[in-house]
Amino acid sequence: MKLLELVQLKLVTSLKDKDLLELADYTSEEVQGLLDLAMKLKVITKEGSCPPLLEGKTLGMIFEKNSTRTRISFEVGMNQLGGKGMYMNTRDLQIGRGESIHDTGHVLSGYLDGIMIRANSHEMVKELAEHASIPVINGLTDLTHPCQALADLETIAEEKSELKGLKLAYIGDGNNVAHSLVVACAHVGIDVVVATPKNYEPKEEFMKKAAEIALQNGSTVAHTYDPVEAAKDADVIYTDVWTSMGQEEEAAKRLQDFKGYQINDALVAHAKSDYMFLHCLPAHREEEVATSVIDGPNSFIFQQAENRLHAQKAVLASILGE
């Protein structure tokens, strides 16, 4: 019997033709369904049995920002599912010369089956979704990074099996990655503590929404300014760069403000001995994380990066599939 017959693929049918702008728009059941599907798709893909669930479908991929993981994982994911990913840089589109989002959304809807966009402005992506009659998937904005958070959950689930009751410490900048991560953790019952310097806290709207979701799933969401408090007894320690794309002018100030927040051997000593270290990449070794940690035995960063491919295939198959 073929592996595909043994692994029952269950698409999250409630997501068909639905946008993915942020995970707060999805139910906990939908997030768990995507997670289950992603892990099954990973198994069958590695066995060479990935079904052509998106045969004949084309995903337009719009990029305002440079990309390694997002571009390659979406394009390869579409190929593995039997479809096609079409790369489009905004400098090459009329949108880069002033064509309105309204017109762009309507035009692309006549050509494509879906749009993935990696953009500077979350509001622009929301506007595109409003005017496009095809699904829009957020590949990253200034506010959220939902596909990354799904890959993060997949990575944790592969290593820890049971997610509910785990503690995740996010230590660093309260940015777009943090916003999606706290919501994702809340959906699956992971207790999450975010530790940031003052003036770098995650936006209250995301912390509040995550807390509401967590309450339904028996978990907690908290913020602290103390990285040791966050790391204490953590099952997972997560960080991101201190200076994201577009913040280069703030780099010197941020280096000063984030002193004491580096993930190093002294800090991870407060976590559980079998803790997982995660980072969405790209990383600045010896800045937000010590080389001994990111390249150490508790680091799962490359498994995490690979899982972008499979988590996004779950999203694509559920949203664009029949």
Active-site positions read 118, 145, 148, 240, 280, 308
As beta bridge partners, residue 305 has none
| Distance (Å) of CA 178 to CA 101, 105, 312 | 27, 29, 19
* DSSP state for residue 63 in the 8-state scheme: E
Distances (CA, A) of 166 to 182, 191, 272: 13, 6, 11
Residue 137, C-beta contacts closer than 8 angstroms, at least 6 positions apart? 19, 20, 114, 115, 116, 117, 147, 315, 316, 319
Dist CA 119 CA 70 (whole Å): 12
Least Cα distance to 36 among 137, 139, 187 occurs for: 187
- Chain mean position to CA 171: 16
Q: How would you class 82 by CB atoms within 10 Å of its CB: exposed for 0-12, middle for 13-18, buried for 19 or more?
A: middle
Residue 322 burial by Cβ neighbours in a 10 Å radius (0-12, 13-18, 19+): exposed
Task: Transcribe 262-315 into DSSP letters.
Answer: -B-HHHHTTS-TT-EEEE-S---BTTTB-HHHHTSTTB-HHHHHHHHHHHHHHH
Give the span between the Cα atoms of 122 and 124, in whole angstroms.
Answer: 5
